[in-house]
A and B are shown apart, each in its own frame.
Chain A
């Protein structure tokens, strides 16, 4: 046990002490549990492995708080006074707070855990928590949130680029990704083949696509249907 723990702890601590990594890379954990002693223990535990932690006694406290815009996850007690953990999960989904959730519960309740997982929880852990499971879940959560945030950022870039296309270019774009040849497109749009080729090269440049396949993937990400 000791041997298993030590190198890992040292690794975490090294990261914590290093402080060279940005908050975003480190991630942040939000703990929501009504039990003060559990809250304090978890805060200390996650802090000891170099994570930033913020803890809250109730859902309302969490909602009212000013949270840093970094990747993170929520460690959430299933049973909370007032709004329960599950209701909170739904509430977060509606309010587009997409932080991954790790549920913790006093006892394993199958039906609740199934519901929680269906709603997209990362993990459902029972108290007392096994440190490894918690740390793994938290790190997985943060990683996933980081990935999600990158994806969100990429999409935002794509949308911006899409906005920069002229209407004609947009038409050409939508037809190009269906795999049609330029002369077919020219016939469809009643344009010269040369004009279509110019538009096509503009689209490739504006969108930053290296190949036709790259462009098609972008269109897919942006949810642009290929016109038949």
Chain B
């Protein structure tokens, strides 16, 4: 029994400690334990069998010893029977009823065999002996019965006692478990209280507010800072009752209603509402549907925030970007304006070629023997020149048009060559000799081609002016491209008047100009364009004289 107790207790205490079984009464668990106790009892006979055999053997040995002693002492039948009775009473204290019956029977046999005449025979002739044996049988049966009865009662008492002790022990364990659970619950409650306090603190200090709406979508609860107004003003109203953009953005509201009606979570819904002081504010709200334990929809709860500042900043940013783009355009057109004469020449030149070639062609065809070969060659020249003119026009148009930013994969060398073709005339006009060193196998960059051309053109024109101002016969401009660690670099190097090292940074400030007719935007705009491409534009003195302008643009991978 002792070996079995620990698992039972363990099971019991486990049972009691399991929180989700809290409602299960302790009694039912005790009942289960009693059940298992009874089961244990049923196993008992199996084990007792061995004890029974032992007791029987013990009894038989004792009986044999007594029989031997009595026989040796030549005791009369009555004495032997009495001795047997005493032995049986003594044995009855240790052995069980069935053994006693067997022993009684063996005793009767021994008496009739060894002590009753005739000896060594089971036969009993003397009626007095018969009555003695009968009395022995009856007495032994009675004594046995009584002894067994007493023992049975005693055993029952012991069993009950044990059961009680057991139950007590289990109750104590359960009690301890309950006490533990109580302490645990106390701790959990404290933690809960702390977490509640924490949440309250968060809510009180957050600039966002918390809200709850009922199944009719009307506010049932709002924290103090909601909408910058008093919560009482909003309780009982729906959020769209205070919206200012319900008519202008009805689609947005329709979608919100659909989300709410389908009891789905919504996030970052932005709308314009009347603020506490009557001024419009932008509100960003997120909410989650609430259901009670029966799965019944109880409304929504979530957070709201005043995002007016963010929205305004966003709009200002967009506006700024537009202004920057416009400025870039104006600066571009200004740059083109500086090149007007060169560009006009650049278009006029091929046109002159076209006209003269066409005249020549007519002559060849009008001859008595038309010279078709010469005429064809003239026509080919016309085509080539016309294409050249239209290329220039297209390039100028590209630069002049007010196009939105358009980032594509650009080969920097191609861009450089296109730009140079616009400035060739300007350079030769000013006796500037241009030298290009374009590195091969450069990575492509994600950039706006037009803006890039604008920057390069600007740098070329600046260099050209610096060279002209230098009053030097030897005017050299070099443009080179190279691979940078994570992209490409372009360097424009001149041998012009150079730059004052102390003024290097002010060069890039807006309205800083050294030209009488200049706006002073060229370099400022160029730098903002390059920085807009994630790159850097800077200047440094050239050796032995002149200036170097250099920019780098990283070559971003896909989705850069």
Contacts and interface: CB of A to CB of B under 8 A. Distances in A.
Contact of A37 (B344, B353, B363, B377): B353
B350 interface: yes
A153 B360 CA distance: 35
Interface string A8-22: 011011000000000
B363 A9 contact: yes
By Cβ-Cβ distance, the 6 closest A-B pairs, closest first, are A127-B352, A48-B363, A41-B356, A128-B355, A37-B353, A45-B360
User: Which has the most chain B C-beta neighbours within 10 Å: A9, A12, A128?
Assistant: A128
Given A41-B381, A107-B345, A35 B366 contact: no
A76 to B, nearest CB: 14
A42 B356 contact: yes
Nearest to B351: A128
Contact of A106 (B349, B357, B378): B349
7 contacts: A37-B350, A41-B385, A44-B374, A45-B359, A47-B360, A127-B351, A129-B352
B381 A79 contact: no
Nearest to A82: B431
A35 B385 CA distance: 11
Contact of A107 (B348, B374, B384): B348
Given A82-B431, A106-B349, A45 B367 contact: no
B428 interface: yes
Given A44-B357, A79-B429, A127-B349, 6 more contacts: A34-B428, A37-B381, A37-B384, A38-B349, A48-B363, A107-B348
Interface in A111-162: 127-129, 131
A5 B362 contact: yes
Contacts of A38: 349, 352-353, 356
Given A45-B360, A128-B355, A129-B356, A37 B385 contact: yes
Interface size class of B (residues with CB under 8 A): 20 to 34
B355 A129 contact: yes
A41 B357 contact: yes
A44 B356 contact: yes
A110 to B, nearest CB: 14
B388 interface: yes
B253 interface: no
A81 interface: yes
Nearest to B382: A41
Interface string A167-206: 0000000000000000000000000000000000000000
Interface in B448-494: none
Contacts of A227: none
Contacts of B378: 41, 44
Contacts of B350: 37
B431 A81 contact: yes
A45 B428 contact: no
A49 B357 CA distance: 13
B364 interface: yes
A81 B388 CA distance: 20
A49 B428 contact: no
A128 B349 CA distance: 8
A42 B368 CA distance: 22
Which of B341, B349, B355, B363 neighbours the largest number of chain A CB atoms within 10 Å of its CB? B363
B285 interface: no
Nearest to A35: B349
Most chain B CB inside 10 Å of its own CB: which residue of A42, A44, A47, A82: A44
B364 A10 contact: no
Contact of B366 (A9, A47, A81): A9
B289 to A, nearest CB: 76
B354 interface: yes
Contacts of A81: 428, 431
A41 B353 contact: yes
Interface in B366-390: 366-368, 374, 377-378, 381, 384-385, 388
A139 to B, nearest CB: 15
Contacts of B352: 35, 38, 41, 104, 106, 127-129
Nearest to B341: A107
Given A37-B384, A37-B388, A107-B348, A128 B366 contact: no
Contacts of B351: 127-128
A95 interface: no
Contacts of A35: 349, 352-353
B348 A106 contact: yes
A224 interface: no
Contacts of B364: 48
Nearest to B363: A48
A44 B376 CA distance: 12
A5 B360 CA distance: 11
Interface in B7-34: none
A21 to B, nearest CB: 18
B348 A128 contact: yes
Interface centre among A79, A106, A131 (most CB of B within 10 A): A106
Contacts of B385: 37, 41
Contacts of A107: 341, 344-345, 348
A49 B367 CA distance: 10
A13 B368 contact: yes
A53 to B, nearest CB: 11
Residue from the set A5, A41, A42 with the largest chain B CB neighbour count within 10 Å = A41
A40 B353 CA distance: 8
A40 B381 contact: yes
B360 A44 contact: yes
A6 interface: yes
Contacts of A10: 366-368
Interface string A79-92: 10110000000000
B344 A131 contact: no
Nearest to A36: B353
A131 B350 CA distance: 16
B121 to A, nearest CB: 162
Contact of A48 (B341, B344, B374, B388): B374
A51 to B, nearest CB: 11
Contacts of B356: 38, 41-42, 44-45, 128-129, 131
Interface in B306-360: 341, 344-345, 348-357, 359-360
Nearest to A48: B363
A48 B367 CA distance: 9
B345 A5 contact: no
Contacts of B357: 40-41, 44-45
Contacts of A48: 359-360, 363-364, 374
Interface string B65-92: 0000000000000000000000000000
Contacts of A127: 348-349, 351-352
Contacts of A44: 356-357, 360, 374, 377-378, 381
A173 B351 CA distance: 61
Nearest to B350: A37
Contacts of A49: 363
A194 B354 CA distance: 75
Contacts of A47: 360
A42 B350 CA distance: 12
B295 to A, nearest CB: 85
